[in-house]
Amino acid sequence: MDPVYLRAAGTSLLLHFPAGQVEIAHYGADLGPTVPDPGALLPPIPNSALDVPIVAGLVPQASSGWPGRPGLRGSFVVDGRAGHGFSPALRVTNVDATADAVTVTQHDDALGLTLATHLRLHPGGLLEAAHTLSNRGTDPYQLDELAVVVPVSRQADEVLDLTGRWCREKHPQRARLRQGTWVRSGRHGRTGHDSSLLTALGTPGFANRTGQVWAAHFAWSGNHEQFVEQLADGRRMLGASELLGPGEVVLEPGASYSTPAFFAAYSDRGLDGVSTRFYDWFRARDHHVDTTSGRVRPVVLNTWEAVYFDHRLDALTELAASGAELGAERFVLDDGWFAGRRDDTAGLGDWVVDSQLWPDGLTPLIEAVNGLGMEFGLWVEPEMVNLDSDVAREHPDWVVGPAAGPGARLPLEWRQQHILDLTNPGAWRHVFDQLDALLAGNNIAYLKWDQNRDLTEHGSGGLSSVHEQTLAAYRLFDELRAAHPGVEIESCSSGGARVDLGILERTDRVWASDCNDALERQTIQRWTQSVLPPELVGSHVGPTHSHTTGRVHDISFRAITALFGHFGMEWDVRQATGAERETLKRAIALYKEHRALLHSGTRVNADLADEALRLHGVVGSDRAEGLFAAVSVASSYAEMPGTAPLPGLDPERTYRVAAVLPTEADADYANTFTQIQPPAWLRDGAFTATGAYLEHVGVQLPVLNPEHALLLHALQA
């Protein structure tokens, strides 16, 4: 068969077909318009080895001699016993290629297994890959794992991925790649606070703006594994798979299983180049938030850290009026509005308005909010249930557990709650009908959709069912969106525990973390936005005294941090001082002035030697302007910070760079800077330089106090 060669935006993919098999001969830099026959790249045969070259294949197989992690694990169940046909020999039967995509079909005649692999290189250079396995045999096939993998250059010698916990999601960890397999297992039944949104391999010392990087994301919201493997022969593989429970997927004759999508990005411009690949893909989607709605992302006022469960019409109306006066455009009523919900021990599962709290329903509040010129949003947690609820009392069999039948043991509680079995048709219909009625009967423009616990010991009818629960949840999102296409949905999962491209095919933004501490958010947002563009990442100004860390931060630092996302407030703004309110007004005005830039431009992150300083920003797609934040996250070892680059601007153009603070008076600068005299350009108010100068020399920074920030606006002169 002839090789297949795909090219887009500086990336290329080359497939060849040795001895009836298929292999990715190259994935990475663009090789130009023509390539030689990749058959010449078949490796030598070393001593003490198989007598033929080992082919990795699109799915590594022992039948091809692959000594590493297999891509397909499973077996047929014959006479009640699994294990038959444990080692398939899939060979290519068909190749269907277009200019930007290819589907390769492989078959094992003896076993009756067919595998179709779909590869597409999107216009922005992002590679999307997935498999579909079909059982054409006569016996059930128990699938244990089906992985998607891509090879990575031997020049890639370091691995970076992300980890975290509640209120500290998306923190990077980095190590030298060694022989063996580095595996990240997610067994939370959801994506997980510690899940790696991005797994990256790169050339030694790769950074934000330099080095070659191969990175991947697995678009699945359930159990999963991501892995990097280096074999003894030096080959490196980057892959992921759904982590299936015992017997979760058994393919009856004629049935099929499709993997979630695996997205891979190559960059020769460091991690920022990877982000650009993902941003281009997101923004090209027909249903991306700002292409379908035709409007910008509204300023949000969320009530959780303002009132918690204290829901009173007069107080909430006052809060709404206070937020509207600042410039809020969307008011979101959080947890506590539904039947029996006075704290977090009761009510989940009963999605009807509490008639004691709201004798006239939510209408008076919604009308008050709409009258102030704001949209109304509402918090829900449809996948969960309290035992103290009508639905749990009436349908105890709808509560998920590891065993079946009356009196069966339940999993341990988490935040006083359990999981509703959405794989049960009655339970799924109950949730859909209640939410459908809620949306049909009220002017609700937005749902904050929460999911506050792991799916531990997740079973239905005594069988492991995370796979089916995840698909049922997806179906619930899909059906509600189809019934109410004007309603936007946020994916919140006790903060950032369900942030992935699977859920983002069904939602309009994510809540990156329950932590509104601006210092923590600097890291959380930077790495969440390594894959997700800012318009998809909720970022709110929290209270002066952080509810989750106890830190106290200046209003300017909190506002600048929240600016680089989908901006909002989660704070009882009625309690803000006069100066704080003025700063908030200015911050909201800045967001409205620049949100078109922030939500369409290229995210950039400077490489700085001083770990106490960070500089990030967004540069417009036409490179006519950029908005940057210089951030001090700790006390520096140096008396003076020196210059910091403003990356991403056009090197040939000239820009006027000015400092921006959302504070009113010069006196407030004393809270931000520690210096007798600021840099000369800051005293003058601005300076002019070329994009090349700003990239390689940069801006002389003032001496920032720890945990403070300065906005810099670069506009083409």
Query: What's the confidence (pLDDT) of residue 373?
Result: 98
pLDDT of residue 510: 98
Q: CA 631, CA 560: separation in Å to the nearest integer?
A: 9
Pairwise CA distance, residues 357 & 353, whole Å: 8
Separation CA 223–CA 471 (nearest Å): 12
Note whether 623 and 685 are within 8 A (CB): no
Residue 590: DSSP 8-state: H
- Determine which one of 514, 517, 554, 650 is catalytic: 514
Residue 640 DSSP code: S
Two structure tokens written together for 619: 């540069």
Query: How far are the Cα atoms of 20, 72, 78, 132 from residue 115, in angstroms, in the given order?
Result: 14, 10, 21, 6
Second-level CATH architecture of 4-284: Distorted Sandwich (2.70)
- Residue 307 exposure: Cα atoms within 13 Å on the Cβ side: 24
Which residue is it, tokens 């990156």? 512
Side chain identity at 598, as an amino acid letter? L
Task: Find where tokens 């600097």 sit.
Answer: 522
Fold of 301-576: TIM Barrel (3.20.20)
Which residue is it, tokens 């009436």? 394
SS3 139: coil
**Furthest C-alpha separation in the chain:** 84
Q: Are 11 and 28 in contact (CB under 8 A)?
A: yes
Please spell the DSSP secondary structure of 231-290, one letter per residue: -TTS-EEEEEEE-PPTTSEEE-TT-EEEPPPEEEEEESSHHHHHHHHHHHHHHHSTT-HH
H helical segments located in 458-577: 466-483, 518-528, 555-563
Nearest to 590 by CA among 308, 330, 389, 299: 299
**Residue 682 in tokens:** 């800051």
Residue type for position 339: A
Question: Whole-angstrom Cα distance, residue 321 to residue 318?
Answer: 5
Residue type, 658: A
How far is 142 from 461, CA to CA, in rounded Å?
A: 18
Contacts for 680-688: CB closer than 8 Å, 24+ residues apart:
681/657, 685/658, 685/659, 686/656, 686/657, 686/658, 686/659, 687/656, 687/657, 688/654, 688/655, 688/656, 688/657, 688/717
- Name the residue among 528, 29, 506 with its Cα closest to residue 278: 528
The rounded distance, in Å, linking the Cα atoms of 448 and 621 is: 30
The per-residue pLDDT for 42 is 78
- What pLDDT does 667 receive? 45
One-letter amino acid for residue 544 of the chain: T
Residue 11 tokens read as 């990336």
CB neighbour class for 31 (10 Å; exposed up to 12, middle 13-18, buried from 19): middle
CA distance 439 to 483: 9
pLDDT the model gives residue 673: 75
- 90/59 Cα distance (integer angstroms): 9
Kindly state the tokens that stand for 5. 């060669």
Return the CA Rg of the chain: 27
Tokens of 584: 């908030």
Active-site residue flag, 450: yes
Q: What is the pLDDT of residue 291?
A: 62
d(CA 296, CA 288): 12
Flag residues of the chain having pLDDT under 70.
291-294, 664-671
**The pLDDT value given to residue 662:** 78
User: Which amino acid, residue 145?
Assistant: E
Q: What is the pLDDT of residue 292?
A: 60
Q: Do residues 37 and 143 make contact, with C-beta atoms less than 8 angstroms apart? A: no
CA atoms within 13 A of residue 123's CA, in its CB half-sphere: 6
Instruction: At 286, list the tokens.
Output: 């027909």
DSSP character at residue 414: B
Phi, psi torsion values for 652, nearest 5 degrees:
-90, -15
The residue ranges of every structural domain in the chain are: 4-284, 301-576, 604-716
3-state helix, strand, coil in the chain (%, to 5): 25, 30, 45
| Catalytic residue status for 37 | no
How large is the angle between the packed helices 313-326 and 578-598, nearest 10 degrees? Answer: 60
pLDDT in tens, 348-399: 999 999 999 999 999 999 999 999 999 999 999 999 999 999 999 999 999 9
Asked whether the beta carbons of 604 and 648 are under 8 A apart, the reply is yes
State the catalytic residue, choosing from 144, 161, 334, 450.
450
Burial category of 638 from C-beta neighbours within 10 Å (exposed 0-12, middle 13-18, buried 19 and up): exposed
Six token digits for residue 664: 């009113």
Q: Is the pTM of this model over 0.85?
A: yes
Residue 210: count other Cβ atoms within 10 Å of its Cβ: 17
**Can you name the CATH fold of 604-716?**
Immunoglobulin-like (2.60.40)
Residue 465 pLDDT: 95
Output the pLDDT for position 113.
Answer: 98
* Residue 605 CA, distance from chain mean position: 18
How far lies 405's CA from each of 400, 418, 426, 456, 565, in Å?
11, 17, 17, 18, 47
Residue 8 pairs in a beta bridge with 11
Give me the torsion for CA of 696, 697, 702, 704, rounded to 10°.
30
Could you tell me if 664 and 579 are in contact, meaning their C-beta atoms sit under 8 angstroms apart?
yes
Report the alpha-carbon distance of residue 307 to residue 312 in Å, rounded. Answer: 9
- The residues with which 5 forms a beta bridge, in sequence order, are 14
Residue entry with tokens 């919900």:
341
